[in-house]
Structure 1
Amino acid sequence: MSFLRLFLFVLLLEGLLFEAKAQAIKQYNVNDFGAIPDGHTDNSKAFVNAFKGACQYHGHSRVVVPRGTYLVKLAEFNGPCRGPIDFFLTGNVKAAPGPREGGYWFRFGYIDRLTVSGKGTFDGQGQTAWSSNECSKNPNCKGLPISIRFDYVSNSVVSGINSLNSKYFHINVLGCTNLRFQNIRIIAPAESPNTDGIHIGQSKNVRIFDSFIGTGDDCVSIGPESTDIEVSGVHCGPGHGISIGSLGKYTGEKDVSGINVHDCVLDRTDNGLRIKTWASDIKSRLYNVTFRDIILKNTYNSIMIDQQYCPAGGCDTSKASSIQIQDVQYKGIRGTSISPDVEIFRCSRKYPCNNIVLKDIDISYNGKNGPARTRCSFLNGRSFGVQNPKACV
């Protein structure tokens, strides 16, 4: 066989293999199930039915949301499914305007090998509901719907999507294992209440990579019973920074450990790297935490442990937190602060913070209330290398 014929044969074979692979993923287009991309028709039923069909397919399936604007009031996608399943969004999905109490808008539950991808947008239309949020005044508020919930999802990827103006949290992760977020954009105004970017709880092996998160609350928040969590390459701002907690609010909370936050930028955030616990009798531990190679740009409270967390007021200040914080490292944290209190360690008098390590911290403050300073209580630890401002451990 001549070289030219061999080359053409190889090209033909590769084309056939590519076509076979494409055909192996069975497509379920929401338009084929009655969805109408006019921005006014409720397409909840069409979305759910498309997913149900894909979920029952014996093989790799894909739910496709084409270009256009789709109104969806509520969509719940539950497994287990019979094979890997994709949710591929190129259009824009809009929530119904106005407030609705609690719960969620989209929910993916009990699914293994899920991929949520595309360049489309989940638009929660939160601007039509934020005025109904009373959580800043009422610690027992029920809240508004979370935009996207991932409940007990495993071995899955969320990539390339956009989440805009959630009514409450943008993304909530509960009971998940081996879940990766990459190249996503989460956007809400700085003044939008409780619009956390990604909140993680009771989950293991969650990765957040190379994403932009700008909201009115925590860019990433890590709650009880979370282990082996990595946050890397995230640009955070506006928002309340990257937080662990709050911890110690609910009975039965379990330990948090193995948290690694590195190579991130925090830009004009109300807090920087924060750990927050309630002053309560609820016991658990937070340990094995690393914040490394973080750039701060005009942040408040750049490094903070607050074990008297009480955002809505009315707490019993005579109580001390029962959360034991230990083995926390801050390495290579540098940048600028717009508050003179650059490092705040307000640890528990009952269970002081142990083995807190500060290495090469260089945070400058050039305001009129200078010089930059640290404030520490009930803190045990060590410091190495550059310490600007001077460490209090």
Structure 2
Amino acid sequence: MCAKYLFMLFLLAYAAEAQRVFNVKDYGAIEDGNTDNSVAFVRAWSDACKWNGESTVLIPHGTYMSKSVIFNGPCKGSTTFQINGDLKAPIDPSMLVDQKWINFRYIDKLSVNGGGAFNGQGTATRKKCQNDSCQILFTSMVFDFITNGRIENLHSVDSKGGHFIVFGCGNMTFTNLTLTSPTNNRNTDGIKISHTNGINITSVKIGTGDDCVAMISGTKNVRITDVFCGPGHGISVGSLGGGNPHELPVEDVVVRNCTFNGSMNGVQIKTWPNPSKTPLNISNFIYEDIVMINVKTPIFINQQYCPEHNCDLTKSSYVQISNVSYKNIRGISATDIAVNLNCSMEFPCQNVTLEDIDLWSSGGKRGKHLKNYCFNVKGSSYGKQIPPSCLPSNKF
């Protein structure tokens, strides 16, 4: 019995040693909400990253301010960044660099969680910059070249620019998150993804002054489920086709079981009228089981995207859109538009399908005054179509 007891103690001690916690307060972090803690954070991260086993950098309860900070890998084992308290960005943007506040780079098996919050203090910065004309588009948290990552149980509020940027990553999950910014704070995207293969976004609430989710160059294999979007500009593919010769396709995107409330758009694909005529193919999108509540344009393909209204709209987009399916989309439009498929004259949209679409006006009568628009689209409609579809009807 004694030997067995000693062996159990040995196992417990080994497990505790293999899973080590690096508390930032042990590295001099101060929870007064004003002191810069970036040095303490980096020192704790450096030791955790070198640990040959599972390690956790702990931000305990309290409010901690930090300048821009980079957490570099690769690390020897799986690493968790656990935010139990609150992180605050400085109001003065001169204390931030490279358009980023918190940046994780070159890490395999990264987890960021803890139930805490990070506050970008974007509104205060915007007020300051009205007088100083300073740059404010700093992203709260950036993930560069992360593989096998999991970001969960966090709150991001009042970002200066976007909340999350994901670049060059693979196999990442974002779940149980709340991302909020004031509606009138522009360029505050929720999750922006590029050059990334394999993203799962689920059980997330996003309300911003820009896209809830934006998928741009090189985004592949994305699954978006159980997302609440509003306010904001919708869940977007693009913008694409602006003349960058190195732009890559966006492929294999599924948006399912999501709700849009008060957003400018619902599900949208947006491309520029392309002056450089560099062809780009984007394909294989499924939008299914979606509820729209007072959304200005519930279903939107816009291949004349030009937010500053300074483009030559006689020129065609050189982005080829194909294999797009809209199924079981229902709810209320805040305008007289239900579906607007405005495709390229040079490269008409191919194989677009509308199935069981049931959208009505905010006046409450299904299909009343609502219109569908189809330009340069090749496709079909199936099942219920309220209002009547602008694509040819087919029976199963």
Give the equivalent residue in structure 2 for 1:384. 382
Q: CA deviation at 1:318?
A: 2.1
Give the match's secondary structure for 2:265. Answer: coil
Q: Judge conservation of contact 1:25–1:60 (CA < 8 Å) in 2.
A: yes
Q: Judge conservation of contact 1:102–1:142 (CA < 8 Å) in 2.
A: no
**Distance (Å, rounded) in 1 between the aligned partners of 2:52 and 2:147:** 19
Q: CA deviation at 1:17?
A: 5.8
**Normalised TM-score (structure 2):** 0.91
**Distance (Å, rounded) in 1 between the aligned partners of 2:375 and 2:129:** 34
**Distance (Å, rounded) in 2 between the aligned partners of 1:324 and 1:43:** 48
Structure 2 matches for 1:325-340, cutoff 5 A? 325-340=321-336
For 1:215-261, what per-residue CA distance to the aligned partner results, in whole angstroms no more than 9, with x for missing partners?
11111111111110010011111111111111112221111110000
Q: Judge conservation of contact 1:169–1:194 (CA < 8 Å) in 2.
A: yes
Using a 3 Å threshold, how does the CA distance of structure 1 residues 132 and 318 change in structure 2: closer, same or farther?
farther
Letter in 2 for 1:91: G
Give the equivalent residue in structure 2 for 1:342. 338
**Distance (Å, rounded) in 1 between the aligned partners of 2:332 and 2:212:** 19
Structure 2 matches for 1:62-141, cutoff 5 A? 62-100=56-94, 103-130=99-126
For 1:275-299, what per-residue CA distance to the aligned partner results, in whole angstroms no more than 9, with x for missing partners?
0001112321111100000011111
**Distance (Å, rounded) in 1 between the aligned partners of 2:128 and 2:237:** 27
Using a 3 Å threshold, how does the CA distance of structure 1 residues 319 and 142 change in structure 2: closer, same or farther?
farther
Give the equivalent residue in structure 2 for 1:320. 316
Q: Judge conservation of contact 1:272–1:302 (CA < 8 Å) in 2.
A: yes
Q: CA deviation at 1:132?
A: 7.7
Letter in 2 for 1:87: F
> Structure 1: where are the runs of 5+ without partners?
135-140
Give the equivalent residue in structure 1 for 2:151. 158
From 227, 232, 238, give the equivalent of 1:234. 227
Give the match's secondary structure for 2:330. Answer: strand
From 196, 206, 216, give the equivalent of 1:203. 196
Using a 3 Å threshold, how does the CA distance of structure 1 residues 74 and 233 change in structure 2: closer, same or farther?
same
Using a 3 Å threshold, how does the CA distance of structure 1 residues 63 and 363 change in structure 2: closer, same or farther?
same
For 1:176-216, what per-residue CA distance to the aligned partner results, in whole angstroms no more than 9, with x for missing partners?
00011110110111111111000000100011011111111
RMSD: 2.2
Using a 3 Å threshold, how does the CA distance of structure 1 residues 350 and 143 change in structure 2: closer, same or farther?
farther
> Structure 2: where are the runs of 5+ without partners?
392-396
From 336, 360, 368, give the equivalent of 1:364. 360
Q: Judge conservation of contact 2:137–2:187 (CA < 8 Å) in 1.
A: no
Structure 2 matches for 1:230-379, cutoff 5 A? 230-249=223-242, 250-280=244-274, 281-367=277-363, 371-379=369-377
**Distance (Å, rounded) in 2 between the aligned partners of 1:109 and 1:248:** 28
Q: Judge conservation of contact 1:305–1:344 (CA < 8 Å) in 2.
A: yes
Give the match's secondary structure for 2:142. Answer: strand
Q: Judge conservation of contact 1:253–1:282 (CA < 8 Å) in 2.
A: no
For 1:23-47, what per-residue CA distance to the aligned partner results, in whole angstroms no more than 9, with x for missing partners?
4211111111110000111001110
**Distance (Å, rounded) in 2 between the aligned partners of 1:261 and 1:121:** 27
Q: CA deviation at 1:133?
A: 8.1
Q: How many residues align?
A: 379
For 1:315-346, what per-residue CA distance to the aligned partner results, in whole angstroms no more than 9, with x for missing partners?
12221100000000000101111111111111
Say yes or no: does 1:182 pair with 2:178.
Answer: no
Q: CA deviation at 1:366?
A: 4.0
Q: Judge conservation of contact 1:99–1:128 (CA < 8 Å) in 2.
A: no
Q: CA deviation at 1:81?
A: 0.7
Q: CA deviation at 1:383?
A: 0.4
Letter in 1 for 2:166: V
